[in-house]
Amino acid sequence: MDEQPSSKTWGKPIKCRAAVSRQPGEPLVIEEITVAPPMAREVRIRIVCTSLCHSDVTFWKMKDYPAIFPRIFGHEAMGIVESVGEGVDEVTEGDSVIPFFMSDCGECIDCRSKKSNLCSNLPFKVSPYMHRHETSRFTDLKGEVLYHFLFVSSFSEYTVVDIAHVTKIDPSIPPNRECLLSCGVSTGVGAAWRTANVETGSTVAIFGLGSIGLAVAEGARLCGATKIIGVDLNPDKFEIGKKFGVTEFVNAGECGNKTVSQVINEITGGGADYCFECVGLASLVQEAYACCRKGWGKTIVVGVDKPGSKLSLSSFDVLHSGKTLMGSLFGGLKAKTDIPILLKRYLDKELQLDEFVTHEVKFEDINKAFDLLIKGESLRCVIWMDK
Ligand code: NAD
Ligand code: ZN
Ligand code: ZN
């Protein structure tokens, strides 16, 4: 006989609080909402804590498609499984889990290849719905649909996530550290480790020293990079950057009559081995490409620019310079295998996580997290659902 789930809420809708974004750029509103039970291959999760990533801010500000409102943002989180839908045996009620925005189905040609994390069974897109069933699990008190974000929607006490977007984790690690691996830190460390495959002794340039850029520095440091140049407009980021292994700083606003790429080409004597764009501006991708080493340099695009923005590179330069330009979603990581590896490296005191958490707030104060990130005052602000 099947074991009976003990949860009182199993198979039933749950009423709980969520921070709903009703209008672009307007403060989130804490409302009571209904979260439907998980459908087949889905998991309902009680969120313990979540943090704010710049990608939430980008889509919260955006007025046109793929922006859609009312929406529940949040895609960096940690939680506990409340119940599972049909066909889920990988996790069970009470398990500590990390949800993530890149599907890891484990079955398709890409998930089985070491070369890619771009699942083709459930390909990445900025969808307003659950990945597999293309419907929402959230409604407001009037019964109107609330849209999902990046298949996670963690700014809610409960959320529903596809099993391809969930990994079970060691419950002994503090939730306010675990949640960082749900997006930001994994993305940055992975970009250096998996996408770029930074080599010992190499020189790295990082455009943008938010959590993503600093996690690239952390990943590059772990890979043995010796020179790590950080570029930002905010000089405060250099002091912070030193903790993550940034060895030199270029203030993008104080390069005089030179471009940032000219300054970096001078410092490095012909370009950095690896350049990472971690701001989200096509113009900075061009700058990064212009100061990566000819012959073997790699430029990695991590930042998210506005939909439709275009890069402009001279085909002559591309032909003659022999450089590589790569995109990196979720740091090229396969979430189900790589998140546990990174958590172990944290437990082994190799990977720094504590330093990324600069602020912590209660759920009611979620809008403060937005203010802090937009003003450049925080790296990660952890939002506790139940404190
Ligand atoms: P953040 O706001 O914390 O950091 C951005 C940094 O860029 C800030 O320090 C800011 O001062 C700096 N900056 C802004 N304009 C600049 C300029 N012109 N020159 C140099 N520095 C500049 O953001 P974050 O959370 O670290 O996210 C960074 C980017 O990474 C965002 O675009 C985000 O959407 C993207 N992201 C991508 C992935 C992915 O899978 N590829 C995952 C998460 C986040
Ligand atoms: Zn993110
Ligand atoms: Zn897949």
CA pair distance 116, 329, nearest whole angstrom: 10
Pull the structure tokens for residue 188.
């940055």
Q: How far is the CA of 116 from the centre of ligand 3 (A)?
A: 10
Tell me what pLDDT residue 160 has.
Answer: 98
User: Which residue out of 73, 232, 328 has the highest number of ligand 1 atoms within 8 Å of its CB and is therefore the one to mutate?
Assistant: 232
Q: How far is CA 249 from CA 253, 264, 281, 320, in A?
A: 12, 10, 19, 29
The per-type count for the chain, helices as H runs and strands as E runs, is: 11, 17
From residue 330, how far is each of 67, 183, 261 by CA, in Å?
21, 7, 26
Q: pTM score, two decimals? A: 0.97
Ligand 1 first shell, C-beta below 6 A: 53-55, 58, 183-184, 187, 207-213, 231-234, 237, 252, 278-281, 284, 302-304, 328-330, 373, 376
Residue 200 buriedness (CB in 10 A; 0-12 / 13-18 / 19+): exposed
Q: Which of 345, 357, 52 is nearest to 190 (CA)?
A: 345
- For ligand 1, atom 12, name the residue with the nearest CA: 208
Could you tell me which residues come within 8 angstroms of residue 66 by beta carbon, excluding any fewer than 6 positions away? 59, 126, 307
Per-residue model confidence (pLDDT) at position 1: 43
298 φ, ψ (degrees, to nearest 5): -120, 135
Distance (Å) from CA 110 to ligand 3 centroid: 6
pLDDT in tens, the chain (387 residues): 445 556 789 999 999 999 999 999 999 999 999 999 999 999 999 999 999 999 999 999 999 989 999 999 999 999 999 999 999 999 999 999 999 999 999 999 999 999 999 999 999 999 999 999 999 999 999 999 999 999 999 999 999 999 999 999 999 999 999 999 999 999 999 999 999 999 999 999 999 999 999 999 999 999 999 999 999 999 999 999 999 999 999 999 999 999 999 999 999 999 999 999 999 999 999 999 999 999 999 999 999 999 999 999 999 999 999 999 999 999 999 999 999 999 999 999 999 999 999 999 999 999 999 999 999 999 999 999 997
Of 239, 331, 386, nearest in space to 53 by CA: 331
Atom number of ligand 1 nearest to Cα 58: 34
* Cα 142 to Cα 22: distance, rounded to the nearest angstrom: 14
Q: What is the pLDDT of residue 7?
A: 72
Please name each of the domains of the chain with its CATH number: 14-20+63-84+93-166+178-183+332-384 (3.90.180.10), 185-331 (3.40.50.720)
Q: Ligand 1, from 50, 52, 54, 378: best to mutate by most atoms within 8 Å of Cβ?
A: 54
Measured from the alpha carbon of residue 104, the closest ligand is 3
Mutation choice for ligand 1 from 56, 261, 279, CB with most ligand atoms inside 8 A: 279
**Ligand 1 atom nearest to 212, measured from its CA:** 26
- Going by C-alpha positions, the residue among 322, 339, 319 that lies closest to residue 330 is 339
Report the b/e string of 214-229 with b at 16+ CB within 10 A: bbbbbbbbbbebebbb
For residue 116, count other CB atoms closer than 10 A to its CB. 15
CA nearest to 271, candidates 301, 299, 294, 240:
294
